Structure 1
């Protein structure tokens, strides 16, 4: 710090407290920046106990003095670069190294997590293993269609969030992430999530020798499947209707023949057992 006034000290403490929270106790010497009324008000307003060391007895603030000694010796061993760069290299190495007493790195004890360093690149990549598992649903027994993706050069429809048609035809040019793709259109490029992409197919009656880029000659998968389902449903309904008419005519002829063969009944015939209902020729 170029200035050691109470205001400058308070500003630096606010930056530290904003990251790590308010401490219970602050230990310092009896410098003028720590004994001023402004600094005392700052401590009391934030509920912090301020402990001041005795004059000419730095052992009272031994933790801070030992930290200063460790930093100075570490900076002498780090060579090359500016002072800020050397300090950053030293702090990263110090905070990720196991302590001889606790057996844990200081950063892991303070933040309850491991800080990643260049040495971690030699360890197995867990994220890559998880991505490979997700790309192979059979290994997780999740069934088919659990991970949808597109290949480079595949024809797709991309959702348009602006003015114009809702779906715009394009081509996949690059995969930017697990579920993010770069789509090339006629006059622009879009980045779209996999949920905003649909496959683009050509009509079945279209000649493969003379492809066209017209939007009218492509169908959504949902539209092609819907047309096929309607054709099959129409044929099934027609066959069922013909089968029903044949059964109905055959049953009418049998009823007329039975009525002609039966003798004339009395005015008050005896009650017979109920005849099972007809099911229109179906069992």
Structure 2
């Protein structure tokens, strides 16, 4: 904006420039990643095993199933014979028969939990399945943190040959009040560098981040039960589930599947500028014009342009620093 104000002026310059940049497809395609959003806390369960978080992790080449309770801090794990949905369902059925069926089961979007067999298991056992957004493991953060704790215990027990299940008994159980205080402190520190953004709505035109400073056009077509997680559709007709961290609203129109793609050459790329704000050459500008930017030439400096604003003030060109003059 500073460089534009040095060379041009018209009423609404700032608004028109920002609006032009927001509608520029190339600018939106290479923009920076979204800033961090304020931490969104979930409600604390009212009783143990009302909400259960689960995840699958590897240790020494073997697969393990982690099951954790956010209310009490209790966590358990079972060794998997295979990393299939049927094996995970079998162990969860055994676990639920002892501790009870939870109201909500949290997990990541792994194939074991997103399969049709696991969805039928959730329907038959009457619990709600909550899957975290792809590429956003923070949605299942409690289970991810417990995985680190259990891995640390397994590693220590593996070195000294002790029983890992006996070591699990040494973990302290949490209390709801203490858990709420810890969460409040966590949110206060996390939000210090966060930037709130308006929630996404169905029909919003967005850009979906696919890599470092790479954004692909898409459109919000469906909302999900998880916070800040939506279903988007690309111009090719493919649907993705993404967290709002990887989505950015845009005013640029979303191209259709048959629309031509935008190609930019390395040396000749340029963005077309509306004729309303193009600079007028001296030979084409009439002397009666009193607005816009005028260009004059004089004597020795005929090869050097002197720009004059619409108010008659001369705009001096920027000179480079020359140490020999001082």
TM over 0.5: no
**Higher helix proportion:** 1
TM-score range, shorter chain: 0.3 to 0.5
Higher relative contact order (CA 8 A, sep 6+): 2
- TM-score under structure 2 normalisation? 0.28
Greater CA radius of gyration, 1 or 2? 1
- TM-score under structure 1 normalisation? 0.32
